[in-house]
Structure 1
Amino acid sequence: MTTGPIPFDRFMDEALYGPRGFYTSGGSAGRRGDFLTSPEVGPLFGAVVARYLDAQWRRIGEPEVFTVVEVGAGPGTLARSVLAAAPACRAALRYVAVEISAVQRERHPDSVTSAETMPTEPFDGVVIANELLDNLPFRLAVFDGGWREAYVDMGSDGRLIEVLSSPFDPAPSVLPPSAPFGARAPLIDRAATWIVEARSLVRSGTVLAVDYGAPHTADMARRPWRDWLRTYRGNERGEHYLAAPGSQDITTDVPFDQLPTPDSVRSQAQFLQLHGIDELVAEGKRVWEEQAARPGLEAMKMRSRVSEAEALLDPAGLGNFLVAEWRT
């Protein structure tokens, strides 16, 4: 770690994306990875996203080049599922999978443009941020009679410790005037800036963000901070966020009131139902019933849509994620 004390967002940046960071060294989503995301549940999520992309393509007039930029694409699981669903916009589709990890980029399908950074020229299309905002480094506010900013330093025994700044003057307006002693809240300046920059690239189209989150920062400040400030490793909860930086993911629920006001916010369950998940599941059941006597691989994939939908729509899990859209 760089000589401290340093703000929490800088520590998080180094722990996740630095030379020995978690993602730089190969941390990833997937059943054999460190955490499970909706695309990793199965291809159904991507099939619904393909329908959503078709709807956006038609909304902006079916441009001859329709660019989809997925940021934080990991190993390319969502891209594979979207393309396998054969969307109507396929002939116009230019799919750009943006991933900072070279290890993950090596696993991207040949049919996409694999990139380390986002495009710099405006385009017509969609920017997808699926579980990206929770991983963008954030500042950390702590209440001890007043709101202070958390910094990370090296203790005399060589272990990382947390130290607090002087009280904010004034405190960020998203923070409640008072909170339980020791309460915490994330300050997601970088995520908010990322949305602004992504919107500036989309000439006509949409920025779509899917993440676990909360409508209001004040609600998070009232919850036990270990509920929303989490670490993951090997598909299990990890250690304290200061333990072994670079060996585990660090993530937060996203307080959506700190982002630019979206055109719409829905739960993931509502979003998937709006864009046809029930129809896809019904199709899967029909194909399975027709081929159940001698099922092939396609029939087995169709049958799996039922269990995938249960996971994706679960109100106590993925179904409760928030989906926000910023349209241009």
Structure 2
Amino acid sequence: MMSSPVGPDKFLAERLADRIRVDGPLAFDDWVEACLYDPDGGFYATGGAAGRRGDFLTSPEVGPLFGALLARWLDDRWTALGRPVGFTVVEAAAGVGTLARAVLASDPACLVEGRYVMVERSSPLRAAQPTGDRLASVVSLEEVGPVDAGVVVANELLDNLAFGLAASDGADWREVRVGLSPQNGPIETFVEVLGQPIEPSWPLSPAAAGAGVWVPVQAEAARWVESARELIRRGSVLVFDYTSTTAELAARP
């Protein structure tokens, strides 16, 4: 059961509570989407960020080596494609541009006549990104437009996209939604509510998983991968992330 009160960001939490009161329990992915990306009260709109002074660290924040290795790989891909002019590197979830800075500092040949596009939803993070002749910043992949030759790069993005939850009751997989507890005290709390049975995309049966097992539903991640693949006519999609199979996740205590 979630113990988060309607706060500490009371504005966002109250709006979420109002949605639940009007429309009923929210889909879990809608809840996560709002908590992370709401433009007024979400985590990334209110100062949440990677970095040594931020909330978490990823490889680019540890040091420049990750960016240097990526720059070398980008040149390898560019060479494999015949060294096309206008080679485009699209970095999804670029944040404040830490990885972009490291890549450009390594001076890859592919960007001498190419471009590096940083995709970032958060306005505060975009405002801190580097600028330059070879750099561009956009809000979404759709704004990039079709890319003839290039690479889409994403570092620890997929596990940062909104996800649903499914719970096994032993007979069915059921959607997990977010509702409100009865207000028996001074603080109203958000709670998980089991919804209707769903037909998941994974082969693990609810009976094999066992009653009480919960697993994430990464539909948004799958959609993002498809969009990234469709963006590039010639090139690659390179994704760094941590992952397990649904069966492995279900087996965790």
Q: CA deviation at 1:6?
A: 1.0
- 2:139 corresponds in structure 1 to 116
CA distance in structure 1 between the aligned counterparts of 2:114 and 2:67, rounded to whole angstroms: 15
Q: Is the Cα–Cα contact under 8 Å of residues 146 and 233 in structure 2 kept in the other structure? A: no
| Local SS of the residue matching 2:196 | strand
The amino acid that maps onto 2:125 is: Q
TM-score after normalising by structure 1: 0.65
The amino acid that maps onto 2:182 is: S
Question: How big is each residue's C-alpha offset from its partner over 1:198-236, in whole Å with a ceiling of 9 and x where there is no partner?
Answer: 11110100011100111x211111113xxxxxxxxxxxx
- 2:155 corresponds in structure 1 to 130
CA distance in structure 1 between the aligned counterparts of 2:191 and 2:89, rounded to whole angstroms: 41
TM-score after normalising by structure 2: 0.84
- 1:181 corresponds in structure 2 to 211
Q: Is the Cα–Cα contact under 8 Å of residues 99 and 116 in structure 1 kept in the other structure? A: yes
CA distance in structure 2 between the aligned counterparts of 1:174 and 1:192, rounded to whole angstroms: 16
- 1:154 corresponds in structure 2 to 180
CA distance in structure 1 between the aligned counterparts of 2:202 and 2:126, rounded to whole angstroms: 39
Q: CA deviation at 1:138?
A: 1.0
State the identity as a percent: 50
| Local SS of the residue matching 1:162 | strand
Q: CA deviation at 1:171?
A: 4.5
CA distance in structure 2 between the aligned counterparts of 1:15 and 1:144, rounded to whole angstroms: 27
Q: CA deviation at 1:143?
A: 1.6
- 2:251 corresponds in structure 1 to 222
Task: Indicate how the Cα distance of structure 1 residues 54 and 113 shifts in structure 2: closer, same or farther if over 3 A, else same.
Answer: same
Q: Is the Cα–Cα contact under 8 Å of residues 48 and 54 in structure 2 kept in the other structure? A: yes
Task: Give the CA RMSD over aligned residues.
Answer: 1.4
Question: How big is each residue's C-alpha offset from its partner over 1:45-66, in whole Å with a ceiling of 9 and x where there is no partner?
Answer: 0000000100110111111101
CA distance in structure 2 between the aligned counterparts of 1:209 and 1:175, rounded to whole angstroms: 25
CA distance in structure 2 between the aligned counterparts of 1:127 and 1:180, rounded to whole angstroms: 38
- 1:41 corresponds in structure 2 to 62
CA distance in structure 1 between the aligned counterparts of 2:203 and 2:102, rounded to whole angstroms: 38
- Kindly indicate whether residue 86 of structure 2 is the aligned counterpart of residue 65 of structure 1: yes
CA distance in structure 2 between the aligned counterparts of 1:209 and 1:94, rounded to whole angstroms: 19
Q: Is the Cα–Cα contact under 8 Å of residues 202 and 246 in structure 2 kept in the other structure? A: no
The amino acid that maps onto 1:5 is: P
Q: CA deviation at 1:114?
A: 1.4
The amino acid that maps onto 2:130 is: P
Decide which moves more: 174-183 or 56-65: 174-183
- 2:52 corresponds in structure 1 to 31
Q: CA deviation at 1:122?
A: 3.2
Q: CA deviation at 1:166?
A: 2.9
List gaps (5 residues or longer) in structure 1: 225-328
Q: Is the Cα–Cα contact under 8 Å of residues 88 and 147 in structure 2 kept in the other structure? A: no
Q: Is the Cα–Cα contact under 8 Å of residues 146 and 232 in structure 2 kept in the other structure? A: no
Q: Is the Cα–Cα contact under 8 Å of residues 180 and 222 in structure 1 kept in the other structure? A: no
Decide which moves more: 4-13 or 75-84: 4-13
Q: CA deviation at 1:167?
A: 2.8
- 1:277 corresponds in structure 2 to none
- 2:26 corresponds in structure 1 to 6
- Kindly indicate whether residue 127 of structure 2 is the aligned counterpart of residue 106 of structure 1: yes
